[in-house]
Amino acid sequence: MKPVIALVGRPNVGKSTLFNRMTKSRDAIVADYAGLTRDRHYGDGRLGQREFIVVDTGGFEPDSTTGIVKEMAKQTRQAVAEADVVIFVTDVRTGLSGQDQDIARYLRQANKRVLLTVNKAEGMVDSPLLAEFHELGMGEPHPISAAHGQGIRSLLEAALADF
Ligand code: GDP
Ligand code: MG
């Protein structure tokens, strides 16, 4: 069985860009606005000889009856339940948000291996802006740039360490 890696995070942090990077595809829809990738989306990835499955999520689906937060939580729950490893994606450009805190709270009790990832960190490996992400209590953040392909290999090495 290939390990399943779920990409979880609030809208617009770069999950679909990371998905494309991990699967070397253009399959996921990358949008300049939040919430376009509405359904979970699966792709095949490979690191050396190791193969894995990546699950992208839309983050949330605006819905007037259930509300944004509820839908986001549902998407996140479904993706997490299927996953062996969760890559929790945040965004150094916008900084830590309340939604990040909500997702972190959920992930802490979900009993999955979680890798905290700070995206859009091109040229910012040593930036003090990364420090606040320690507040999430999910270990050392992995700075990456999904768009520029930085930090992806070491992230995947860490994600697949147990497989
Ligand atoms: P999603 O909603 O989490 O799936 O985010 P997307 O992958 O659709 O990306 C949202 C926006 O962030 C798009 O404009 C991307 O081009 C941009 N983006 C994604 N990754 C990076 C990155 O590493 N650096 C920068 N500067 N922008 C990025
Ligand atoms: Mg997306």
Q: How far apart are CA 39 and CA 55, in angstroms?
A: 10
Work out the pLDDT band at 92, boundaries 50, 70, 90.
very high
Sorted by sequence, the CB contacts under 8 Å of residue 86 that are 6+ apart come out as 5, 6, 8, 79, 80, 107, 110, 112, 113, 114, 115
The H or E element spanning position 135 is: none
Of the listed ligands, the closest to the CA of 124 is 1
162 CA to middle of ligand 1, Å?
28
Q: What is the pLDDT of residue 99?
A: 87
Q: How far apart are CA 119 and CA 101, in angstroms?
A: 16
Q: What is the pLDDT of residue 35?
A: 42
Binding residues for GTP: 9-16, 56-60, 119-122
Q: Examine the pLDDT at 160 and tell me if it is beyond 80.
A: yes
Note the pTM of the prediction, 2 decimals: 0.88
Q: What's the whole-number mean pLDDT along residues 133-154? A: 96
Ligand 1 is surrounded, with C-beta below 6 A, by 9, 11-17, 30-32, 37, 59, 119-120, 122, 145-148
Cβ neighbours around 120 below 10 Å, total: 21
Q: What is the pLDDT of residue 79?
A: 82
Q: What is the pLDDT of residue 27?
A: 53
Which residue's CA is the nearest one to ligand 1's atom 9?
14
Domains and CATH numbers, the chain: 4-145 (3.40.50.300)
Sorted by sequence, the CB contacts under 8 Å of residue 107 that are 6+ apart come out as 8, 80, 86, 88, 114, 138
Q: What is the pLDDT of residue 59?
A: 55
Q: Is the alpha carbon torsion for 86, 156, 116, 137 positive or negative?
A: positive
Higher-pLDDT residue of 70, 3: 3
Q: Which of 17, 72, 89 has the most ligand 1 atoms within 8 A of CB, as the residue to mutate?
A: 17
pLDDT, tens only, 37-71: 445 578 889 999 999 989 888 654 444 455 556 66
51 phi, psi to nearest 5 deg: -110, 150
Higher-pLDDT residue of 71, 86: 86
